[in-house]
Amino acid sequence: MGILFTKYFADMGFEVTGHDIDNQKKVRASVKSDSLIGSILQPDYVLLCTPTKATPEIIRLISKEMKRGAFLIEISSEKSKTVPALSKTPSKINPICIHPMFGPGIKKIKGRNIICIPIKDAKMELATTKKLFPGANFVTIDSTEHDKKIALILGLTHLMNLAFANILARDETITLTEKMSGTTFKAQKIIAESILTETPELINTIISNPELRKYGEEFWRDIGRLLADSQEGKREDVMNYVKACQEKISKNVDLNKSSKKLSTMVNLIDK
């Protein structure tokens, strides 16, 4: 994400100073700094693209060295560890806690979702974020509810697709499987493969979210129930399960439109 935001802010006209703990990496910034502290002394905005585990300590370390009036922006996917650290930052700086709901492969931020977690001054923090990311969509939510929602949005989807990818990896005739596949398999395979482009550290952070346990256990129970009922010939039980799911989901979504969207997506990919 550091590369994405470096390019994004440089394109907006900012002079970007970049620092990476791995000095072997090419930091594509206006100015490259070999020192963490040296890189944060003068900027008006400091954006942390760091592993969640290390972020609280980095916040503690740099916040007292930043200049008065500067903004410290944190973007991790789990807020239970970072929000307490941001809340304790010196009053001379302005902490901002966001979660960009997109990855480094996007071409533009306009129309993308950004979650804002209030720290000290919710109104000012949201206004600043909107100024930095014009055209994005914004949702404000507290850190506890954020982690609960992210457990479903990212945690469960990563958990499911990681297991799916591992099964694919054991398929010794995957080429034949792909030749035989239809739209559902193609779309699912692409999602699973795209998740594997993320670092193991990030994936671990996402599925280590304590709030995921609830959804994971529900998913495990439902898988077991469906598998047992279908294999034991309990046709009515399976059909009732499907009908109940269709009825509940269709209250908020046009399922036929969703099917058409899937076909359109796969057709675009196949071109």
Q: Is 32 helix (H, G, I), strand (E, B) or coil?
A: strand
User: Is-contact 82 57, C-beta < 8 A?
Assistant: no
- Please state, in angstroms and as integers, the Cα–Cα distance from residue 46 to each residue in 22, 49, 188, 257, 266, following that order: 18, 10, 37, 42, 39
User: Residue 29 has what pLDDT?
Assistant: 63
pLDDT in tens, 136-155: 999 999 999 999 999 999 99
User: Residue 108 has what pLDDT?
Assistant: 93
**Which is the CATH superfamily of the domain at 2-141?**
NAD(P)-binding Rossmann-like Domain (3.40.50.720)
The continuous run of DSSP H or E covering 129 comes out as helix 122-132
Domain with CATH 1.10.3660.10 in the chain: 145-270
Buried b (16+ CB within 10 A) or exposed e, 105-115: eeeebeeeebb
Q: How far apart are CA 147 and CA 120, in angstroms?
A: 19
The continuous run of DSSP H or E covering 116 comes out as strand 113-117
Q: Single out the residue of 220, 162, 218, 222 nearest to residue 192, CA to CA.
A: 162
Percent of the chain scoring above 90 in pLDDT = 87
User: Residue 23 has what pLDDT?
Assistant: 57
Q: How far apart are CA 239 and CA 138, in angstroms?
A: 39
User: Residue 270 has what pLDDT?
Assistant: 81
Q: Single out the residue of 60, 86, 77 nearest to residue 147, CA to CA.
A: 77
- Please state, in angstroms and as integers, the Cα–Cα distance from residue 15 to each residue in 11, 139, 177, 180, following that order: 9, 28, 49, 51
Q: Which residues of the chain have pLDDT under 70?
A: 22-30
User: Is-contact 102 113, C-beta < 8 A?
Assistant: yes
User: Residue 269 has what pLDDT?
Assistant: 84
pLDDT in tens, 24-41: 555 566 677 888 999 999
Bridge partners of 48, per DSSP, are: 74
Q: Single out the residue of 148, 93, 102 nearest to residue 121, CA to CA.
A: 93
CATH architecture of 145-270: Orthogonal Bundle (1.10)
User: Is-contact 17 33, C-beta < 8 A?
Assistant: yes
Domain with CATH 3.40.50.720 in the chain: 2-141
Q: How far apart are CA 140 and CA 161, in angstroms?
A: 28
**C-alpha 267: how far from chain center:** 26
User: Is-contact 82 76, C-beta < 8 A?
Assistant: yes
pTM beyond 0.75, yes or no = yes
